[in-house]
Amino acid sequence: METVDIKPHQCLLDIAMQTKGGIDTLFAFAGANELSITDNLVPGKYLLVPDVEVTDRRVFQYLRDNKIFPANAFTAEDDAAIKGGIGYMGIQIDFRVS
Amino acid sequence: MSRIYEIDFPKLVRLLMPPRLRKMRHVAWLLALCNPVNYLYQQFRRNRDANLYRLKITPQVVYLERLLNDRYDISQRRIKISDGMIYEPVFLYQEIEQKPVYLWQEAENKPLYLYTEEEVGSNPVSFYVFTPRNLYFDENEMGALINNYKLAGKTYKIQRA
């Protein structure tokens, strides 16, 4: 199976965008790599690319021709800006009670 | 196991936003809109976990013990299951039959065990569920739970040890 390297600050949505042109293939990626779709990815590692059609050929071609690697992952600065945490979380909203 | 059902909705909302729009107030608004979805998702997850637990329980002794201990004695786990044993019955005769059965004193150390019908009868039970004496539970409810998981045709008896 084809693989793709993870660049810094990339999340699974970016990888799907970069290799298939759209995030419709997000769950195929998550399934192929046994990841959750919101998992943090480790830069420098690689992911398996599932055998599915490129969903948006124009976007895919544009990103590839211009060597654009989308990298929109959540960063520590984002975290700080959004101010989640104790006092902001709610039981059953941010975490599960089972 | 596949982790495809594990979705962190608050995080997904942020990831789907362009980074320059990820402002506190904007994200909070979107999270508020997503709250019903998240709520349903949590219900789904709980239901899924419960179903996976149900499927994991089989009539094997270890799993039945686990089920009962999880349900009734979660911390001390004292409920045990053991096979039904077949004992030699002890018959007590009438005086006229001249076959005396002697009951000895404790010091003489010759115990005589008297068994119940289930233990020696023509239909001995397949297994016993031994529960500690000081555990409070609804026997009918426990019976229904065991009936749910035991093999067809197996008989059992709940006994306080």
Query: According to the model, what pLDDT value does residue B21 have?
Result: 83
Which of A11, A36, A96 comes nearest B3 by C-beta?
A36
Contacts of B24 in chain A (CB under 8 A): 81-83
Instruction: Give the span between the Cα atoms of B130 and A76, in whole angstroms.
Output: 55
- Of chain B, the percentage scoring pLDDT greater than 70 comes to 94
Question: Which stretches in chain B have pLDDT values below 50?
Answer: none
What is the sign of the dihedral through the CA atoms of A85, A86, A87 and A90? positive
Q: Which residue of B has its CA nearest to A84?
A: B24
Query: According to the model, what pLDDT value does residue B112 have?
Result: 81
- State how beta strands B80-83 and B127-131 pair: antiparallel
Which of A13, A92, A94 comes nearest B10 by C-beta?
A94
Query: According to the model, what pLDDT value does residue B111 have?
Result: 83
Contacts of B7 in chain A (CB under 8 A): 36-38
Across the interface, whether the CB atoms of B4 and A84 are under 8 A apart is answered no
pLDDT digits (tens, 9 = 90+) for B108-138: 888 888 777 766 766 678 888 999 988 888 9
Residue spans of the domains in chain A: they are 3-82
Q: Does A82 touch chain B (CB under 8 A)?
A: yes
Q: Does B105 touch chain A (CB under 8 A)?
A: no
pLDDT grade, residue A72 (50/70/90)? confident
Query: According to the model, what pLDDT value does residue B19 have?
Result: 83
The beta strands (E) that lie in B21-89 are given as 80-83
Q: How far does Cα B26 stand from its chain's mean position?
A: 47
Query: According to the model, what pLDDT value does residue A60 have?
Result: 92
What is the sign of the dihedral through the CA atoms of B138, B143, B144 and B148? positive
Residue A83 has pLDDT above 70, yes or no: no
pLDDT digits (tens, 9 = 90+) for A30-64: 989 998 988 888 889 999 999 999 998 999 999 99
Contacts of A15 in chain B (CB under 8 A): none
Instruction: Give the span between the Cα atoms of A74 and B104, in whole angstroms.
Output: 80
ipTM greater than cut 0.90: no
